[in-house]
Amino acid sequence: MTIYNVTGIINFAQGEFAMLGAMVLVSLEPLGLPLPVGVAVAVAAVALMGGLVERLTIHPARRASPVTLIIITIGVDISIRGLALLVWGTDPYAISPFTAGPPLRVAGAIITRQGVWILGTTALVLAFLYVFFEHTYPGKTLRACAINPLSARLSGIRPDRMSLLAFALSAGLGAVAGIVIAPLTLVSYDIGLGLGLRGFVAAIMGGLVNPAGAVVGALLLAVLENLAAGLFRAAYKETVAFLVLFLILFFRPHGIFGGGARGGL
Amino acid sequence: MLEVETLSVAYGAIQALRGVSLSVGEGSIVTLIGANGAGKTTLLRTISGLLRPGSGRIAFDGREITGRAAEDVVRLGISHAPEGRQNFAALTVRDNLLIGAYPVYRRHGKAGVQADQERVFALFPVLRQRERQMAGTLSGGEQQMLAIGRILMARPRLVLLDEPSMGLAPLVVREILKQIRRLPEAGTTVLLVEQNARSALAIADRGYVIETGRVVLAGSADELKRDPRVQAAYLGRATKGPPSKGSGLAITQE
């Protein structure tokens, strides 16, 4: 989403960064690092990969149209998945939950401990994005670049540097997401696509430029998916994201929460 | 300070500038007047690096800058306030000024940037009152003041101002021009593009008249004001009969 705001392109490789985050953490396991250190290293490594991807694929084509660049990100998505297949094979890996113990009961609902981690991390990431974009100079610079690219250039802001920063930041955040959900799902080389698709649908539900809206969109999507799985059959779960995507693009192209393509976050 | 030599610029097959030459001396205010579509904006956009010329050269302080990217030109000391203000609408006035300081932010540090911001507020006090407001919510005049203040934050030695009077009430135009006139005192040279020829010539030292991509007249502001062709075409005076009493209103030729 940060990439979209800054560069106007949708990064369809975003889900792969989540996969990479979890995979790198899995690979670090033999080193026996404490979990926070491992997570930090994995996130930093994936952020670096995000920057590398930008330099190698987007940067050389930066004068191309957004559609071309979006198609490039699809190519990147396929390539990363292919490379992951070579490196990690087809076996799924497990990451143990961050804190062991039975699920918690909250007001009659049952929530796993890892679920609490996910919610907490989401809140933390949102807070980070808010502080970053509203209260730091690099964040404001990124926003300026998104709001008025012409004036940004005339102010001396280099759009290619901002694009690099946006990719690294998004990749790092993607890695955080991948790592925090990994204990609930299992990680294999091909989880990125599904994650990326759901992330994209959730972002569209939120109007594409609004991180908080995307979080609400994601919760809504997850509820719909599980309703579909529960009411009909589990296989229908996979189709919900596509169905929602179609419905929104047909009826509410600016997102279901109104507003739409504003500047800001 | 700025030398433009036989500059030609084309948008595809359309030739917007045909061999324009002009020079801007340090510490002066030079205005470029002409009708819509004459090539004034194209010239500014080429100087600031947004457009690449087909031929000709641009030199700043004797150094050739032809074809340099806009991000680099601003670092050399040329700041461009484009037509239509172009502020960062969803950022506050204060953040707009901070982004304006981008090329010098690290070099000058927080204190330096703060001092520059105070200078901008001294020039346009209303911006201080609007400091925490979104730029998009300002009035047209305030937005123009912000656009000028924003580019001054980079401490430019030359500013390119594109139609600062556009769409503004005469009183506001007068206020803004008064401050533009003071810029050379603070070490900032001005290249001012205007359709509002009367106002522009009132504060300029020299002027160029540009028509269909060519400079057709050049001279001191006084010479241009007296030139019958300028009077007829840009100052709205009939060549015969007594000059009309200037109301101070914008006289433009469309």
pLDDT in tens, A114-153: 989 999 999 999 999 999 999 999 999 999 988 898 999 9
pLDDT for res B249: 41
Residue B92's DSSP bridge partners are B134
Say if the Cβ atoms of B102 and A153 lie within 8 Å: no
Amino acid at residue number A154: L
Whether B149 contacts chain A with CB within 8 A: no
Which are the contacts of A119, defined by CB distance < 8 A and separation ≥ 6?
A: none
Say if the Cβ atoms of A140 and B154 lie within 8 Å: no
pLDDT above 90 for A213: no
pLDDT above 90 for B160: yes
Which are the contacts of B35, defined by CB distance < 8 A and separation ≥ 6?
A: B195, B211, B252, B253, B254
CA A214, CA B22: separation in Å to the nearest integer? 53
Average pLDDT over residues A101-110: 84
Least confident of A75-79, A210-214, B3-7, B203-207: A210-214
From A143, A156, A159, residue closest to B103, measured CB to CB: A156
In angstroms, the separation between the Cα of residue A152 and the nearest Cα of chain B is: 8
In angstroms, the separation between the Cα of residue A249 and the nearest Cα of chain B is: 26
More confidently predicted of B181 and A245: B181
CA A38, CA A46: separation in Å to the nearest integer? 12
Say if the Cβ atoms of B90 and A157 lie within 8 Å: no
Strand order across the B214-220 sheet: B78-81, B158-162, B189-194, B29-33, B206-211, B214-220
Least confident of B56-60, B84-88, B163-167, B246-250: B246-250
Residue-averaged pLDDT of chain A: 86
Q: How confident is the model at residue A203 (pLDDT cuts 50, 70, 90)?
A: confident
pLDDT for res A1: 52
pLDDT above 60 for B242: no
Q: Which residue, chain included where needed, has tokens 């033999």?
A: A30
Cβ count near B103 (within 10 Å): 22
pLDDT for res A6: 65
pLDDT for res B37: 87
CA B123, CA B127: separation in Å to the nearest integer? 9
Say if the Cβ atoms of B154 and A144 lie within 8 Å: no
Phi and psi (nearest 5°) for B174? -60, -45
Average pLDDT over residues B213-220: 94
Say if the Cβ atoms of A156 and B86 lie within 8 Å: no
Q: ipTM of this model? A: 0.88
Write the CA distances from A230 to A99, A173, A181, A223, B80, integer angstroms: 28, 31, 21, 10, 60
CA B135, CA B150: separation in Å to the nearest integer? 11
Please write down the HEC assignment for all residues of chain A: CHHHHHHCCCCCCHHHHHHHHHHHHHHHHHHCCCHHHHHHHHHHHHHHHHHHHHHHHHHHHCCCCHHHHHHHHHHHHHHHHHHHHHHHCCCCECCCCCCCCCCEEECCEEECHHHHHHHHHHHHHHHHHHHHHHHCHHHHHHHHHHHCHHHHHHCCCCHHHHHHHHHHHHHHHHHHHHHHHHHHHCECCCHHHHHHHHHHHHHHHCCCCCHHHHHHHHHHHHHHHHHHHHHCCHHHHHHHHHHHHHHHHHHCCCCCCCCCCCCCC
Q: Is B20 helix (H, G, I), strand (E, B) or coil?
A: strand
A127-162 burial, b at 16+ Cβ within 10 Å, e below that, comes to eebeebbeeeeebbbbbbbbbbbebbbbbbbbbeeb
Q: Which residue, chain included where needed, has tokens 């991807």?
A: A53
Q: How confident is the model at residue B248 (pLDDT cuts 50, 70, 90)?
A: very low
CA B120, CA A225: separation in Å to the nearest integer? 55
Least confident of A10-14, B90-94, B158-162: A10-14
Q: How confident is the model at residue A257 (pLDDT cuts 50, 70, 90)?
A: low
Whether B86 contacts chain A with CB within 8 A: yes
CA A251, CA A189: separation in Å to the nearest integer? 34
Phi and psi (nearest 5°) for B216? -105, -20
Average pLDDT over residues A67-75: 90
pLDDT for res A3: 66
pTM score, two decimals? 0.83
Average pLDDT over residues B158-183: 94
Which are the contacts of B194, defined by CB distance < 8 A and separation ≥ 6?
A: B31, B32, B33, B163, B164, B165, B200
Q: Count CA within 13 A, CB hemisphere, residue B144.
A: 21
Query: What are B66's two structure tokens?
Result: 């032809």
Whether B48 contacts chain A with CB within 8 A: yes
What would the pLDDT profile of A162-202 be if each residue is shown by its tens digit?
889 999 999 999 999 999 999 988 899 999 988 888 888 88
Contacts of B91 in chain A (CB under 8 A): 140, 143-144, 147, 263
Closest-approach residue (CA) in chain A for B103: A156
Contacts of A139 in chain B (CB under 8 A): none
Contacts of B69 in chain A (CB under 8 A): 153
Say if the Cβ atoms of B88 and A151 lie within 8 Å: yes
pLDDT above 80 for B148: yes
Contacts of A161 in chain B (CB under 8 A): none
Query: What are B129's two structure tokens?
Result: 């009152």
CA B88, CA A120: separation in Å to the nearest integer? 33
In angstroms, the separation between the Cα of residue B80 and the nearest Cα of chain A is: 7
B166, containing H or E segment: none
Say if the Cβ atoms of B90 and A143 lie within 8 Å: yes
pLDDT for res A205: 80
Query: What are B210's two structure tokens?
Result: 């540009």
Sign of CA dihedral B68, B71, B74, B79: positive
pLDDT for res B82: 95
What would the pLDDT profile of B42-86 be if each residue is shown by its tens digit?
999 999 999 999 999 999 999 999 999 999 999 999 999 999 999
Contacts of A137 in chain B (CB under 8 A): 98, 105
pLDDT for res B250: 40
Q: Count CA within 13 A, CB hemisphere, residue A174.
A: 37
pLDDT above 70 for B187: yes
From A137, A140, A151, residue closest to B86, measured CB to CB: A151
Say if the Cβ atoms of B91 and A143 lie within 8 Å: yes
Phi and psi (nearest 5°) for A41? -65, -45
Whether B70 contacts chain A with CB within 8 A: yes
From A152, A156, A159, residue closest to B75, measured CB to CB: A156
pLDDT for res A2: 60
From B48, B91, B95, residue closest to A154, measured CB to CB: B48
Average pLDDT over residues B128-153: 95
Share of chain A above pLDDT 90, in %: 46
Residue-averaged pLDDT of chain B: 90
From A150, A156, A263, residue closest to B102, measured CB to CB: A156
pLDDT for res B237: 64
Please check whether residue A50 is in contact with residue A171, taking contact to mean a CB–CB distance below 8 angstroms. Answer: yes
Say if the Cβ atoms of B102 and A155 lie within 8 Å: yes
Say if the Cβ atoms of A154 and B99 lie within 8 Å: no
Contacts of A143 in chain B (CB under 8 A): 88, 90-91
Share of chain B above pLDDT 90, in %: 80
Write the CA distances from A265 to A5, A92, B34, integer angstroms: 8, 36, 41
pLDDT for res A7: 67
pLDDT for res B253: 41
- E strands of chain B, at which residues? 2-11, 14-24, 29-33, 55-60, 63-64, 78-81, 158-162, 189-194, 206-211, 214-220
pLDDT for res A219: 85
Please check whether residue A5 is in contact with residue A145, taking contact to mean a CB–CB distance below 8 angstroms. Answer: no
Average pLDDT over residues A63-74: 88
Whether B154 contacts chain A with CB within 8 A: yes
